[in-house]
């Protein structure tokens, strides 16, 4: 059962071949067996899941099931779930039980989907390896000493290990696409504003976007159908019609024009990675697409701009964790200042502290213009590069990551090499564009992801392009150990 996609499980449920109770129990058993080793979950909510599964089976009998009714899945532990603790991978929120649901959580509940638990992640979504989680690092099911990528490494690894068929995730600089690539699964970061951020714990509010991880493009489309849409509770959510993302998956790709940015295909890309990506692009040509060289002249500035903007926004967002309102509080504070400082010193991990310090510095009087304002201007230039590029091509393709999954511990002592992981993904967040990663091959037995970037609100086209590739290739069907 666990090797089936959401689309297949949905059909099985509709035909009565399996019940949600059976399905949910099956996935919970797999989590029980395997997650001690993989650590893809921070919290497993087995009782709640079984109760929801019984409800889903009743709803189906009553004749008002949706395609998601009874389907087990998981939420990244950044989405607030009423009554189920939500930690964001931090000691600060170790015992935080939200009194409300995120809009994304509520949409899945309304559809009757069954959340089996909350997945592991880098603390406050800061990282590229899921090693900064307070609850311990997630292991990539493709290699016992490999990272799953991050920050949504728990979600990606859980899908890859078939502990759930799908999981939600978030992407501020690459946190859906990079773990998707490293775990051999398919992920989508939608256009900024397409999915509500209400109840999604904030990291860098102008970059954060909720999205999807599953094994096929079709399943990502099914997820986005549930998640996307205007939300009056999120002032940056966009009021724009939501198409049925599954309706256009089968459209032929004839005439699709693909741009290959010169700046992404340089000598620095390893020959093995380059080969996988070029073969994937040849497959697209065989499907009727045409290829064109393009330029994103400011691509090399993306990481520098991001590591000013994201920490600046994070330092403001994380000011709310002060030991007064909710979350961790230090023992026996001497006075108010001691309460603030010790709570934050004890509650946050080192990467989070590093970001708060960088961000506070960049925003301080005297440095604001030199760093924050400058970074915002660079951001605009990066966006303009994409606007120009999309006058010439329909989609842009590149590798998702510079290399396959790296070894645990390899980059933890060197934050800058960790930051370089997102070299291909970060600029789309700065520009607010949608992008996907899909499995495109293997290097040394480890999965490699192809990134497809689209114009604003072109999620349907990205999903269509990914689905057509997956009809013609088998990479997304490979599982660890195939």
Is 216 annotated as catalytic? no
Least spacing, CB of residue 345 vs ligand GLN, in Å: 21
Q: How far apart are CA 225 and CA 214, in angstroms?
A: 14
Q: How far apart are CA 251 and CA 165, in angstroms?
A: 25
7-15, 169-177, 236-244, 281-289 -> range binding ligand GLN (CB under 6 A):
169-177
Q: Does 259 bind ligand GLN (CB under 6 A)?
A: no
Instruction: Quote the tokens at residue 219.
Output: 């399943």
Which among 19, 20, 45, 76 is annotated as catalytic?
A: 76
Least spacing, CB of residue 56 vs ligand GLN, in Å: 31
- CB count in 10 Å sphere of residue 320: 11
Q: Which residues contact 82 (CB under 8 A, 6 or more apart)?
A: 98, 99, 100, 101, 105
Interface positions, 409-468, toward ligand GLN (CB under 6 A): 422
Binding residue for ligand GLN, selected from 87, 119, 151, 246, defined by CB under 6 A:
151
In the complex with ligand GLN, which residue's Cβ is closer, 296 or 310? 310
Q: Does 127 bind ligand GLN (CB under 6 A)?
A: yes
Q: Does 20 bind ligand GLN (CB under 6 A)?
A: no
Q: How far apart are CA 338 and CA 380, in angstroms?
A: 41
Q: Let me know how long the chain is.
A: 482
67-75, 121-129, 235-243, 395-403 -> range binding ligand GLN (CB under 6 A):
121-129
Binding residue for ligand GLN, selected from 19, 119, 128, 470, defined by CB under 6 A:
128
Q: Which residues contact 33 (CB under 8 A, 6 or more apart)?
A: none
Interface positions, 181-220, toward ligand GLN (CB under 6 A): 203
Number of chain positions touching ligand GLN (CB under 6 A): 13
Q: Where are the beta strands (DSSP E) in 240-306?
A: 257-261, 290-294
In the complex with ligand GLN, which residue's Cβ is closer, 70 or 174? 174
Is 76 annotated as catalytic? yes
Is 151 annotated as catalytic? yes
Least spacing, CB of residue 347 vs ligand GLN, in Å: 19
Residue 97 CA: distances (Å) to CA of 86, 91, 162, 417: 6, 13, 27, 35
In the complex with ligand GLN, which residue's Cβ is closer, 123 or 218? 123
In contact, 121 and 203? CB cutoff 8 Å: no
Instruction: Quote the tokens at residue 248.
Output: 């256009």
Q: 144: helix, coil or strand?
A: coil
Q: DSSP secondary-structure letter at 333?
A: -
Q: Does 226 bind ligand GLN (CB under 6 A)?
A: no
Residues that bind ligand GLN (CB under 6 A): 125-128, 151, 171-175, 203, 310, 422
Residues recognised as catalytic: 76, 151, 175
């Amino acid at each position: 059962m666990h090797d089936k996609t959401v689309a297949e499980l949905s059909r099985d449920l509709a035909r009565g071949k399996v019940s949600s109770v059976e399905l949910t129990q099956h996935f919970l058993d797999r989590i029980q067996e395997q997650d001690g080793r993989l650590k893809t979950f921070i919290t497993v909510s087995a009782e709640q899941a079984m109760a929801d599964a019984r409800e889903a089976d009743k709803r189906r009998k009553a004749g008002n099931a949706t395609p998601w009714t009874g389907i087990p899945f998981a939420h990244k532990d950044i989405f607030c779930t009423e009554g189920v603790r939500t930690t964001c991978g931090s000691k600060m929120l170790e015992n935080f039980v939200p009194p409300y649901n995120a809009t994304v959580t509520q949409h899945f509940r309304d559809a009757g989907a069954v959340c089996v638990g909350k997945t592991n992640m880098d603390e406050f979504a800061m990282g590229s390896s899921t090693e900064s989680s307070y609850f311990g690092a997630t292991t990539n099911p493709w290699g016992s000493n490999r990272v799953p990528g991050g920050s949504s490494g728990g979600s990606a690894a859980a899908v890859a290990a078939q502990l759930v068929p799908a999981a939600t995730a978030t992407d501020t600089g690459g946190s859906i696409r990079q773990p998707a690539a490293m775990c051999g699964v398919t992920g989508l970061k939608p256009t900024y504003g397409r999915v509500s951020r209400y109840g999604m714990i904030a990291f860098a509010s102008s970059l954060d976007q909720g999205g999807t991880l599953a094994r096929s493009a079709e399943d990502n489309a099914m997820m986005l159908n549930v998640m996307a849409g205007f939300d009056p509770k999120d002032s940056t959510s966009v009021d724009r019609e939501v198409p049925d993302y599954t309706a256009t998956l089968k459209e032929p790709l004839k005439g699709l024009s693909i741009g290959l940015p010169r700046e992404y295909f340089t000598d620095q890309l390893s020959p093995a990675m380059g080969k996988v990506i070029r073969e994937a692009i040849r497959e697209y040509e065989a499907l009727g697409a045409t290829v064109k060289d393009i330029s994103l002249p400011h691509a090399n500035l993306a990481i520098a701009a991001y590591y000013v903007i994201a920490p600046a926004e994070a330092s403001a967002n994380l000011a709310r964790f002060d030991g007064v309102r909710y979350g961790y509080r230090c023992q026996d504070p001497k006075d108010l200042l001691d309460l603030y400082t010790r709570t934050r010193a004890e509650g946050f991990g080192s990467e989070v502290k590093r970001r708060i310090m960088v961000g506070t510095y960049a925003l301080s009087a005297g440095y604001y213009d030199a760093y924050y304002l400058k970074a915002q201007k660079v951001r605009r230039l990066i966006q303009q590069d994409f606007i120009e590029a999309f006058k010439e091509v329909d989609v842009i393709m590149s590798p998702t990551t510079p290399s396959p999954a790296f070894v645990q511990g390899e980059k933890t002592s060197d934050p800058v090499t960790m930051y370089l992981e997102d070299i291909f993904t970060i600029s789309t967040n700065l520009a607010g564009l949608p992008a996907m990663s899909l499995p495109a091959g293997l290097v040394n037995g480890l999965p490699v992801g192809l990134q497809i970037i689209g114009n604003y609100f072109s999620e349907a086209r990205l999903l269509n392009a990914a689905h057509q590739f997956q009809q013609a290739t088998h990479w997304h069907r490979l599982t660890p150990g195939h």
